[in-house]
Amino acid sequence: MTSRKPRVVLGVSAGIAAYKVCELLRRLTESGHDVTVVPTEDALRFVGEPTWAALSGNPVSARVWDGVEGVPHVRLGQSADLVFVAPATADLLARAAHGLADDLLTNTLLTARCPVVFAPAMHTEMWEHPATRENVATLRARGAVVVEPASGRLTGKDTGPGRLPDPAELFEVARRVLARGAAPRDLAGRHVVVSAGGTREAIDPVRFIGNRSSGLQGYALARTAVARGARVTLVAANVALPDPAGAEVVAVTSAVEMREAVLEAAADADAVVMAAAVADFRPAGYRDSKIKKTDGAEPEPIRLVKNPDILAELGRERRAGRVVVGFAAETDDVLANGRAKLARKGSDLLVVNQVGADLTFGRPDNAAVVLGADGSRTDVPRGPKEALADTVWDLVAERLFPGEEAGHASVRG
């Protein structure tokens, strides 16, 4: 028995970034999704109907009156598993927020009972205008996911926030939202901070003390939080990964830089998840020139000093309404060391995993035990790092909304 392909309506509004959406469409169709493209009439000035039809394998129309016997203005929204609008212009966001239905795309948005995602793209002044911000807030309050645009080169010589995120990352948003299905966007309206990667502590201009963290788990946490409706600040240390769509990325190098960035972002955060591997120590002094090797002589010892303990600092604050999550990478006595670290750091949750050769670092999968300050224990079997990320956000949501169903089962003990 063949399972039904997920049905995606890909809405395209009239922005120059429409050409990038061809790549998003290709990724959706090649990964087994049944995609119907619904452009606005003006969007067809940027990319024509034959292109959308050829890439999707489905008929394309921007008009309510085409194929009227099939009632497409109602049927498309009713049958979709996801409606994804990219690019979403300021005009399209305004019409969607005010419930207008003057073309096939806005009719589809009104009839959709599935998750809806908007990926805005426009000039910075338009994105930052109070009218646009209010329209975005309205759509988010209704449960839609509005992805924060990227910063970078815009049309002409302009640069700033308003750029359509990379299509590969938009595909990841679509995939994560589809995976959650009808589950509520339980982090909507919340600001979360995630740290990722591994810090580097400079010895001289060419050498540093570092670790093996790739940042994959932190990036999975950021992507998953975006799909659940959160505003995400990702503090990334030395990560060679594309920026997750919808996340504000703050790049840092050292533990001191990470502390400054995390504490600044955490000032108004509802949750902070410290997934980064932060170096415990740094050289006491920095050599301005490369340390030379001298024949027959042993190198001078490098004296180390402690780095700031960011997780413990967050735990000491114990700000009401904020959930703090730490990570513990252990090589032995995993649970015993994890419980001791949880008590020492003062965090609400601690994700404990075993690391070593061919475990965790740089791999797409992970396994962990999530310990709670309330005595809870949640075992996460080995699987994609996104699965662990979803479990972490389930547990965070349970603590942000005490007494409400968080959609997961935990083992108490």
Residues labelled as active-site residues = 211
Neighbouring residues of 133: CB distance < 8 A, sequence distance ≥ 6: none
- In 3-state terms, what secondary structure has residue 374? coil
Alpha-carbon separation of residue 401 from 111, 192, 229, 321, 393 (angstroms): 30, 15, 15, 10, 12
Cα 333 to Cα 369: distance, rounded to the nearest angstrom: 13
Neighbouring residues of 214: CB distance < 8 A, sequence distance ≥ 6: 197, 198, 239, 241, 361, 362
Cα 12 to Cα 60: distance, rounded to the nearest angstrom: 11
The verdict on whether residue 292 carries a ligand-binding annotation is no
The verdict on whether residue 341 carries a ligand-binding annotation is yes
Residues in the chain: 413
Element (H, E) at 118: strand 116-120
Q: What is the token pair recorded at 84? A: 């994804």
The verdict on whether residue 290 carries a ligand-binding annotation is yes
Cα 10 to Cα 13: distance, rounded to the nearest angstrom: 10
Cα 126 to Cα 108: distance, rounded to the nearest angstrom: 25
The verdict on whether residue 308 carries a ligand-binding annotation is yes
The verdict on whether residue 311 carries a ligand-binding annotation is yes
The verdict on whether residue 309 carries a ligand-binding annotation is yes
90-111 residues labelled b (16+ CB within 10 A) or e (exposed)? bbbbebbbeeebebbbbbbbeb
Q: What is the token pair recorded at 372? A: 């709670």
The verdict on whether residue 293 carries a ligand-binding annotation is no
The verdict on whether residue 164 carries a ligand-binding annotation is no
The verdict on whether residue 310 carries a ligand-binding annotation is yes
**Binding positions for CTP:** 280, 290, 308-311, 327, 341, 345
**Binding positions:** 280, 290, 308-311, 327, 341, 345
